[in-house]
Amino acid sequence: MEDSRIIELYESRDQQAISQSDIKYGGYCYSVGYNILGVREDTEECVNETWLRAWNSIPPQKPKMLSAFFGRITRNIAFDRYRASKTAKRGKGEIAAVLEELDECIPDKDTTESLCDGIHLEGLINEFLGELQERDRNIF
């Protein structure tokens, strides 16, 4: 089908526009997206989103070259996904949650032995203070 006919289908809101676009330019858009992303599933989603964006933008716009129009949309979507995936790999703001989870893995600085030593020391100090007169105990 010719580009002018596909554009007419978009303008008349005929859903055949999407299927005809996919038949004629699906492979081209797929290759554009795949060259950026390198992941089949993400590329397929980019191509599907390309048809949605074309559906939403063609009535006000009338592209002169449909292949360039679809290629630009696919490229922009793929670059947005690429940036988002790189941001996700850097933590995406989840660093605090990750560190909180690691907190459970790091042993507590107070071991059972140190807690027992502290209790024993407290008992010795109380015993010592119990032997002192009230005035000396208050000074201590």
Of residues 107 and 73, more confidence is placed in 73
Average pLDDT over the chain reads 83
Place of tokens 């592209």: 63
3-state secondary structure of 126: helix
| Contact criterion met (CB below 8 Å) for 26 and 69 | no
For 20-51, write each residue's pLDDT tens digit: 888 998 999 999 999 988 888 989 999 999 98
Q: What is the C-alpha to C-alpha distance for residues 119 and 4, in angstroms, rounded to an integer?
A: 87
pLDDT, position 114: 78
Q: How confident is the model at residue 74 (pLDDT cuts 50, 70, 90)?
A: very high
Nearest residue to 49 via CA among 68, 73, 23, 16: 73
d(CA 17, CA 55): 8
Residues in the chain: 140
* pLDDT greater than 70 at residue 89: no
Answer positive or negative: Cα dihedral of 7, 22, 86, 104.
positive
